[in-house]
Structure 1
Amino acid sequence: MKPNSTHKSHVTTLSPYQYLGGKAVTSKLCSVLDIDEYQDLADIFNIPRGTVSTWHSRETTPFEIAIRSHLATGVSLRWLLLNEGEAFPHMVTSDTEVTSSVLTLPYYQLKSGRLTTLPALSFDPILLKQAAIDPLLLMALQTSTTTLIIDKSDNLPISGSYLISIDNLMSINDIQRLPANQLVLHYGQSSIAIAQDDIKIIGKIILSIDHV
């Protein structure tokens, strides 16, 4: 009895693509990661600095780095490696960008009361599936041990952890509301009572992601 050939598969020859290499790719990576120097790529991807120079001199296509960038940021491989289409197709044009599988937020580090800009943070929006929040109102803040997701629309202090500004210097503090528009700010083991008008609420922390 002959085997059923109804669902026989057909092998199709796939011609090679003309991939970009060298600075054509690294320039795109720098753009996506919001960095100015080619050698900064070595720090971000934890590779020797000489590797980036080798890509340039040999017009090498860094496929593994491209895939890593795609998985982390959602950047289109077709745009990155073939210069076709858009870097982030179907994204919302804003500081905060959303695709069906990646949420990209403006990312900061708090140093001496000031926000320092970091490369944008991308993660799976499933982490916020329980929060009915417009992603365009979110920001991310790096601390020494965690990454905090902050809802900038929640700027009326009731109870919780908030990013606040006092005398134009920012900090993360636990806050508890008291009667007559008074607030209790917790500083480590200490607490003080202040008037609500004495501080500015930047946003409320809605998610804390521990660093691995």
Structure 2
Amino acid sequence: MSNFESNAQEVIKRLFSAYGVTTQRALAEALNVPSNNVSAWSQRNSVPSSAIIKCVLDTGVDLQWLVNGELAKANYKRGAELLSGESLLNEITSNGGKAVLRRIMDAYEFTLQKQLCELLGISSGTVSTWIRRNYFPGDVVVACALETGVDLQWLALGKGKQHIETDKLSANHSIPRRNLIAGSLQEAGLWEINLNFISQTLVEPVFISSSNYAWVVDMNIGEISNGRWLMGIDGKYDVYDIALLPGRKISVTNKGTNFTCGAEEVKIAGKVVFTMDYNF
């Protein structure tokens, strides 16, 4: 299993953000690891799963956001009895063996260890070693929580409920922000918004701002239809109104453009669900 290689630098940045610290020493103290560990993770491009799990259970940030940068930094409702700091780390690493294996099996709804081995591409001997040594398979725990959506506290510690109610996107939420500058989408942190006024369910909302307009775009919608879309043309992005035409053609319109082209000639990035017009 991977220790979150290939995106380790981004994971470390989100660990800083989750704990609200600015130095590697402060992050190491929050995670109860030696002060040089964080720089070593950066050099190896690998973040250990124990740090991922501890951060989520310590701070309540969204696991999907912490590992993949997806969705927003949302807190879920946690039990008041949850430990923290060194005691939490000790409990995580001591909850191995047969108990955590049973919860992993339940999360995947497997009845046979063979099913789990086939899914993970590991041998039955590896699973037997987990049981014999009371080993905590941290990478498997994180991957299982990401894939199945079960609560990480329940999966890692056996506390709370298997499925926990998360803060819905319709409540106060921080969503990713991008600035649209000369056809390029540039990272611009997070944007606080209450999405109660939007009736539809948003899967991957992003706030996009230009010099004259701003939009809330659901980046999870890619099947083109009539409406307003964030769209790329020859690598340059802008927001356009699209009307479907016969023969897989589309009519494309915005404030300064009006043309017809094939649907395959453009890149759909997401559907606009809300538009704001700046009045200067």
* Bin for the TM-score computed over the shorter chain: 0.5 to 0.7
For structure 1, the 5+ residue unaligned runs are: 1-29, 37-84
Aligned match of 1:96:
71
Give the total of aligned pairs.
133
Deviations 1:7-54 (A, max 9, x none): xxxxxxxxxxxxxxxxxxxxxxx947x9x9xxxxxxxxxxxxxxxxxx
Identity of aligned residues (%): 16
The offset of 1:104, in angstroms, is 1.5
2: CA distance, partners of 1:190 / 1:209: 19
Q: Does 1:160 align with 2:227?
A: yes
Alignment correspondent of 1:172: 239
Equivalent pair of 2:243/2:250 in contact (CA under 8 Å): yes
User: What's the C-alpha RMSD, in Å, of the aligned pairs?
Assistant: 3.3
**Distance (Å, rounded) in 1 between the aligned partners of 2:61 and 2:237:** 34
* Alpha-carbon spacing, 1:180–1:145, altered in 2? closer, same or farther (3 Å): same
Looking at structure 2, the residues matched to 194 and 152 of structure 1 have their Cα atoms a distance apart, in angstroms, of 22
Q: Paired residue for 1:123? A: 193
Residues 210 and 96 of structure 1, relative CA distance in 2, 3 Å threshold: farther
User: Is the 8 Å Cα contact of residues 239 and 254 (structure 2) preserved in structure 1?
Assistant: no
Q: 1:112 to 1:176 in 2, by over 3 A?
A: same
**Cα distance in 1, alignment partners of residues 278 and 17 from structure 2:** 25
Higher strand share goes to which structure? 1
Q: Which has the higher helix share?
A: 2
> Please, which runs of 5 or more residues in structure 2 have no aligned partner?
1-15, 23-57, 76-166
Tell me how far apart the structure 1 counterparts of residues 260 and 271 of structure 2 sit (CA, whole Å). 19
State the Cα deviation string for residues 131-181 of structure 1 (Å, max 9, x = none): 1232xx221101224431111222222211111111111111111110110
Structure 1 length-normalised TM: 0.53
TM-score by length of 2: 0.41
SS for the counterpart of 1:93 is: helix
Q: CA deviation at 1:118?
A: 0.6
Task: Find the counterpart in structure 2 of residue 113 from structure 1.
Answer: 183
Q: Which runs of 4+ in 1 moved over 3 A?
A: 90-93, 98-101, 209-212
Larger Rg: 1
SS in 2 for 1:197: helix
- Alignment CA distance shift 1:157-1:133 (3 Å): same
Match of 2:259 in 1: 192
Aligned residue identity for 2:206? M
Superposed displacement of residue 192, structure 1: 1.0
Q: Distance in 2 between matches of 1:183 and 1:200?
A: 12
